């Protein structure tokens, strides 16, 4: 079941969040268990199933990252297990260096806190930049339906995953 068509929305990477929410509420009412309490079992089960799809779909579609991953998967891109060949070497180099710096700070004294806070801000900014890039590429894909753009999106998602991990790591240290 395609989530976009389930919600009756156009299949787009740049989705109107308020429109999605509106459809979610409408469909939630439509499939609400109270409305099926006295209906035959077959209908009740169908409504339950629709409710489950509705909730899963809403979770995926409202999050720009998950939404992009969903569309990539639909278009036959492997976004699960990925091998290193899919990651540009410069990115690995960069992530490695960032991890090294983080490790040094981690073993440092109290003075390292300021540097950790700085690193935290830097990673947050990098994540925001990746999100912005994702939005831009999403618009480009919606207009062109060009698979090459999806390939680029996949690259940004990989990068973002690394950045997200760095954010988590540094937040653990700052906590």
Positions that interact with other proteins (CB under 8 A):
80-84, 86-87, 89, 91-93, 95-96, 99-100, 103, 157-159, 161-162, 164-166
Shortest reach from residue 75's CB to other proteins, in Å? 18
Shortest reach from residue 170's CB to other proteins, in Å? 13
- Choose between 30 and 103: whose C-beta lies nearer to other proteins: 103
- Choose between 82 and 145: whose C-beta lies nearer to other proteins: 82
Shortest reach from residue 93's CB to other proteins, in Å? 6
| Cβ neighbours of 122 (radius 10 Å) | 16
- Choose between 46 and 127: whose C-beta lies nearer to other proteins: 127
Q: Residues 29-50, buried b or exposed e (16+ Cβ, 10 A)?
A: eebeeeebeeeeeeeeeebeeb
């Amino acid at each position: 079941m395609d989530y976009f068509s389930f919600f009756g929305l156009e299949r787009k990477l740049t989705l109107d969040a308020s429109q999605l929410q509106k459809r979610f509420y409408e469909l939630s009412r439509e499939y609400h268990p109270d409305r099926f309490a006295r209906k035959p079992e077959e209908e009740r089960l169908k409504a339950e199933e629709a409710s489950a799809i509705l909730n899963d779909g809403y979770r995926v579609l409202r999050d720009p990252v998950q939404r992009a991953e969903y569309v990539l998967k639909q278009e036959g891109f492997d976004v699960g297990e990925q091998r290193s060949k899919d990651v540009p070497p410069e990115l690995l180099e960069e992530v490695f260096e960032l991890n090294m710096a983080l490790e040094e700070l981690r073993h440092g004294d109290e003075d390292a806190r300021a540097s950790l806070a700085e690193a935290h801000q830097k990673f947050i900014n990098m994540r925001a930049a990746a999100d912005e890039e994702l939005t831009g590429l999403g618009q480009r894909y919606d207009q062109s339906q060009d698979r090459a753009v999806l390939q680029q999106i996949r690259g940004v998602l990989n990068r973002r995953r690394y950045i997200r991990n760095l954010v988590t790591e540094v937040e653990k240290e700052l906590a």
